[in-house]
Structure 1
Amino acid sequence: MTKKYDKEFKIQTVRLIQEEGKTVAQVARELGLHENTVYRWLAEFKQDGANAFPGSGQLKPDDNALRDLQKELRELREENEILKKAMHYFAKDRR
């Protein structure tokens, strides 16, 4: 079973390295974590800052915005297709 760590724990872990100058190996040993886990958290924090570690099932704000725009685009394309079909249907009636 995989342990789950909350966002605050991950941020505090990263701060031990960045602000207190501890090594990844030292922090991992002190907290009982695998070094690779700490390296991954460090990389995520460096890349995304305050938006890192959004939580289970949550998206980062940029990913969430992209998903919403993709959904809107699909819906608009569907509506456009319906309108095209309706236009052709009504155009036939006029002849």
Structure 2
Amino acid sequence: MSGTRRSYNEEYKKQTVKYIQEQTKTVAELALELDIPAKTLHQWLGKYRSFQSEPIATPDKVRELERQLKERDQQVADLTEEMAILKKAVHIFSNPVYRRSSLRVPSGEDVQRLSGITERLLQMENSEAQPPSRPQSVTA
């Protein structure tokens, strides 16, 4: 702390208060930035504060903020539900029993069996494509 006492004119104090109101920093941060004691800035705020430069909570503004809050709450609820569904899906698909039974790669035996079935189906198709032969009548 310096031993000299500084004095500021009224215009400087008003400009400083206006600057403080426009900032998002705390008074302590601004006190360090401006090299003015925080207690002094608080006193100036009490004396020179102008609420015109600060946002006022009008009923319309409050309603708008409430509407936005409800929207965000709904979004959070939707995302929470989606996340729960995805967690269940991950659990189901990571189960080794599910992976072995439904996503199995066919073995050589499976391929041979399927090709045999395919050949038989083709033979049946070819035999059906030919006109049926008449049964021979047995005369006695």
TM-score scaled to structure 1, two decimals?
Answer: 0.44
